[in-house]
Amino acid sequence: MNGVIALYKERGMTGHDCISQLRKILHTKKVGHTGTLDPNVDGVLPICIGQATKISELLMQSGKVYRGAITLGLAYDSEDLDGNLIEKVPIETPLDSKTIDQTLAQLTGDILQTPPMYSAVKVNGHKLYEYARKGITVHREPRPIHIDYFRQLKPATYDSDAQTQTIYFEVGCSKGTYVRTLAVDFGRLLDKPSVMSDLTRIKSGGFDISQCSTLEEVRMAMDRDQLASVLHPLTEALANYPVYQLDESRWQIVSHGGFLDQSICPQNAAVVRLDYQNNVKALYQFDEKVGQYRPFRMFIA
């Protein structure tokens, strides 16, 4: 039982909730997720099973794509609707589409982002949300992130009764990006309070939402002995790496953790996937000091 389940995480659940339930469904402890997803956010959460737990960190490094909404005129201490309302300013004149596009564009490329107080980032040995729950605000160092794109999905809507405006967006971003903070920074650029009012992750770890299975679908597949229908093999999870097919002699070297020369990858890629008899056996990483490829991740067991 080795591979990745592209889980559709429902709202109201934490990543740890998903892990706990999958361990019971699959009857295995070798289950690991590829990063967190807030309880009020739904969408793609790749879950690594068996030998695939060795690539959890690699999948976490991949870019992510989200779709959601920003509401102008309201601010919450958590930067989403789960927290407490801390500011309300009427939006008397809604923004036009051009202004929205220009403001979103200002938040693209390589930028610095300050982690929100309601996050798991640690400062002085304590998670920021632990300080936040006590009403304490601490200094946070801005972190570099990359935003591939930040664009509107459809025309914004204006609520004349509430005097708020909602912008609908899609964002492609690097690991470590807080989308709710992007929503707040969007409003800050316009000198208006804002909040992330909706969010769904539609791509993560190389999997998109169309490939996802719910916990119930995984449970049904397990009961019917059809787990392969929801478990993506390592060949798929590691499809972006150049592949070298091992012959018998080189397989013997790899099976004992030996080094391989550069001839296995003419492209001189930093990491190469090694397959033997149509099964992924290892990822090898180029070591410049010795001029050879050495073990990086092994899937021999």
pLDDT tens sequence across 203-247: 999 999 999 999 999 999 999 999 999 999 999 999 989 999 999
- pLDDT value for 133: 83
pLDDT at 119 over 80: no
Domains of the chain: 3-62+205-234 (3.30.2350.10), 64-203 (3.30.2350.10), 241-298 (2.30.130.10)
Tell me what pLDDT residue 118 has.
Answer: 73
Active-site annotation holds for 38: yes
Beta-carbon contacts of 118 under 8 Å, excluding residues fewer than 6 positions away, are 77, 78, 79, 83, 128, 129, 132
Average pLDDT, the chain: 92
Please give the average per-residue pLDDT across 121-135, as a whole number: 79
Residue among 38, 77, 80, 198 flagged as catalytic? 38
pLDDT above 90 (res 135) = no
* pLDDT tens digit sequence for 276-299: 998 999 999 999 999 999 999 999
Q: Please give the pLDDT value at position 266.
A: 79
In angstroms, rounded to a whole number, what is the distance separating the alpha carbons of residues 228 and 299?
A: 18
Confidence grade of residue 301 (pLDDT, cut at 50, 70, 90): low
pLDDT band at 1 (very low <50, low <70, confident <90, very high): confident
Integer Cα distance of 21 and 111 in angstroms: 37
Question: What secondary structure letter does DSSP report for 11?
Answer: T
